[in-house]
Amino acid sequence: MSVTTPRGFRAAGFAAGLKSGGAADVAMVVNDGPDAGVAGVFTANRVKAAPVLWTQQVVHGGVVRAVVLNSGGANACTGPGGFQDTHATAEHTAAVLTAASPQSVGAGEVAVCSTGLIGERLPMDRLLPGVGGAVAALRRDGGPAAAQAIMTTDTRPKNAVGHGNGFTVGGMVKGAGMLAPALATMLCVLTTDAAVDSETLDAALREACRVTFDRVDSDGCMSTNDTVLLLASGASGVVPTEAELTAVVTAVAHDLTQQLIADAEGATKQVTIDVVGAAREDDAVEVGRSVARNNLVKTALFGNDPNWGRILAAVGTTAAVFEPDAVDVAVNGVWVCRGGAAAEDRSKVDLGGSEVTIRIDLHAGQAAATIWTNDLSHGYVHENSAYST
């Protein structure tokens, strides 16, 4: 049930001393082949951490034999020196892997991911020995240990697996429910033993991310480090169609997305925003995101207030196709707003539980989308004001 469930992968977690307290903080995932295909999706933030800039180039090269990940430092906004640190990490990983196996690995085949504090250099005197420790700890069943090592404020590791017809997809993710400090960096490594070309791999990953990770929006803040990688070993010998691969990758990404949301620190409610009746899927996403980012909606939900007026006002800030006097809004199944005005009694809405569903019918077409978010709580303010990240 991890990145090492598919054939052809080994992984490890190691405590290098980057984090105080002795928790594991260096993870490695190695692709033993026969293929070494890769696809990647990265943060759209123009201020990108050094490991993102490095790994984008590596993925562009088309071959990844290892991913090394560290928690305890984001290596973002660290200038040319920070980029050299990432480069040195990849070089060292390649050298140690080459020494430990019959196969030669180049630095340009090593992806690097980092998460933690922004604006500070990594302690390379601890990270590089940690890389050696991780290589020594690589195991065929090391996936769970790797998932443990990439945690920051996550309260539990997050693993998932999905099965296709003769092939398997595994995955791990970190991110404390998008409400954590450190800009909620999300790092995700997906693995598959399917035999697929890089074009198919890329198409499957993009479509999976589009309807899962891309539709989680906790506070509208975009990390400098977000990275999702998909590695293919080809070890099953099975060649799925693009549709088959996409379906399984999407299922695994969806599973991981729900684990992210359920582990939301500082939040008291998990909120599902279903937008239906949209003229286009993009409209539905825009409306859902606008509601998900609206601080007045989010604080109302924290206060158990089914405040449909604030929801409607958030919808009104979008460019989606809709008529203001045609919009219906339901909160936890009660249609408190119909035709843009008050309908069922809002006192009927039960917001006592931790799960909230907001349904918005734009009455403008047949398209729909779902966005997941959280409430805005005292816990969020506390988490993000009390600790420098």
**What residues are labeled active site?**
185
The torsion region of residue 186 among left (phi > 0), alpha (psi -120 to 50) and beta comes to: beta
Buried b (16+ CB within 10 A) or exposed e, 230-254: bbbbbbbebebebebbbbbbbbbbb
Q: Nearer to a copy of itself by C-beta: 193 or 375? A: 375
Question: Residue 189: which H helix or E strand, with range?
Answer: strand 187-192
Cα distance between residue 93 and residue 82, in whole Å: 17
- Rounded distance between C-alpha atoms, residue 128 and residue 314, angstroms: 48
Separation CA 386–CA 370 (nearest Å): 32
d(CA 305, CA 269) in angstroms, rounded, equals 12
State the residues that interact with a copy of itself by CB under 8 A.
44-48, 76-79, 82, 117-120, 181, 183, 219-224, 293-296, 299-300, 302-303, 305, 307-310, 312-318, 322, 324-325, 337, 339-342, 376-378, 380-389
- In angstroms, give the least distance from the CB of 340 to a copy of itself: 6
Q: Which amino acid, 127?
A: L
Which of 89/223 has CB closer to a copy of itself? 223
One-character DSSP codes across 56-90: HHHHHHT--SEEEEE-SB---S-HHHHHHHHHHHH
Q: Residue 80 Cβ, how far from a copy of itself at the closest point, in Å?
A: 8
Binding residues for substrate: 152, 174, 185, 265, 384, 389
The Cα 270–Cα 385 span in angstroms is 22
- Of 163 and 378, which has the nearer Cβ to a copy of itself? 378
CA dihedral 40, 43, 49, 54 (to 10 degrees): 20
Write out the two tokens for 336.
Answer: 């408190």
Binding residues: 152, 174, 185, 265, 384, 389
Q: How far is the CA of 97 from the CAs of 49, 106, 362, in angstroms?
A: 25, 9, 55
